[in-house]
Amino acid sequence: AQSVTQLGSHVSVSEGALVLLRCNYSSSVPPYLFWYVQYPNQGLQLLLKYTTGATLVKGINGFEAEFKKSETSFHLTKPSAHMSDAAEYFCASSGPDKLIFGTGTRLQVFP
Amino acid sequence: DAGVIQSPRHEVTEMGQEVTLRCKPISGHDYLFWYRQTMMRGLELLIYFNNNVPIDDSGMPEDRFSAKMPNASFSTLKIQPSEPRDSAVYFCASSLWTGGTDTQYFGPGTRLTVL
């Protein structure tokens, strides 16, 4: 069965530091891959999406992710964290007629 | 477009009462999803519809939960009778043509508290 694994339920970084959130997927064929962000008391919103083609995908708010088929990974990065990046981040994979979500990673940013 | 609209935003009720959550998807979207989010279980897919028809309700926890989509612009999730363990944030989401490859757009959620 398809699955998405997010390593680390909590990640803490200092403001200005690199953000790295890890995501691995399992699928028999290269899936579409998504990163969603959920700010406190809000719904999920799309950060970025990989379909086909270029493996480095740029999203909103300075985030980007790289699709690595050999590693079945789709890690999310941002060069310099901002306080406003504090949120929960969900990785998702395209499934049969629905998305397969990971369990989420809560990002804390310290001043 | 106004995005996915959910009502109410907050609901507090007593155990045993009926609760109805409402959702208006983005106009033109063929798919509608209901999710539940709790600290313990994370984000769970409850049920989804394609062109108003329920496709997969395997995530509905028990018979106390039911969902309908009478037309393309409206869906309800009903819990009868409600129990304290149903306390959660319930999200509705919609997507344009497919359930798995199109972006899902989420509503702001309904925070349900069952006392």
pLDDT digits (tens, 9 = 90+) for A70-105: 999 999 999 999 999 999 999 999 888 889 999 999
Position B98 scores a pLDDT of 81
Q: What is the C-alpha to C-alpha distance for residues A55 and B16, in angstroms, rounded to an integer?
A: 51
Residue A47, beta-bridge partner list: none
Tracing tokens 């279980």 back to the chain, one arrives at B41
Q: What is the C-alpha to C-alpha distance for residues B73 and B25, in angstroms, rounded to an integer?
A: 6
Any CB–CB contact under 8 A between A45 and chain B? yes
Q: What is the C-alpha to C-alpha distance for residues B80 and B65, in angstroms, rounded to an integer?
A: 7
Q: What is the C-alpha to C-alpha distance for residues A10 and A110, in angstroms, rounded to an integer?
A: 13
pLDDT digits (tens, 9 = 90+) for A65-76: 999 999 999 999
Query: Distances in Å between the alpha carbon of A62 and those of A9, A19, A82, A101, B75?
Result: 22, 11, 10, 22, 35
State the maximum Cα–Cα separation within chain A, in Å, rounded to a whole number.
42
Judging by beta carbons within 10 Å of its beta carbon (0-12, 13-18, 19+), is residue B73 exposed, middle or buried? middle
Q: What is the C-alpha to C-alpha distance for residues A77 and A90, in angstroms, rounded to an integer?
A: 13
Find the CB nearest A98 among B42, B99, B105: B99
Position B1 scores a pLDDT of 67
How many other CB atoms are there within 10 angstroms of residue A80's CB atom? 12
Q: What is the C-alpha to C-alpha distance for residues B81 and B58, in angstroms, rounded to an integer?
A: 19
Selected residue of A38, A46, A98 to mutate for chain B interface (largest B Cβ count, 10 A): A98
User: Which residues of chain A neighbour B101 with C-beta distances below 8 Å?
Assistant: 32, 51, 94
C-alpha gyration radius of chain B: 13
High-pLDDT (> 90) share of chain A, %: 81
User: Which residues of chain A neighbour B105 with C-beta distances below 8 Å?
Assistant: 46
Residues 6+ apart with CB under 8 A from B34: B23, B45, B46, B47, B48, B67, B75, B77, B90, B91, B92
Residue A4 one-letter amino acid: V
The per-residue pLDDT string of chain B (115 residues; one tens digit each, 9 = 90 and over) reads 689 999 999 999 999 999 999 999 999 999 999 999 999 899 999 999 999 999 999 999 889 999 999 999 999 999 999 999 999 999 999 999 887 888 999 999 999 999 9
The confidence band for A30, taking pLDDT boundaries of 50, 70 and 90, is confident
Cα nearest neighbour of A102 on chain B: B43
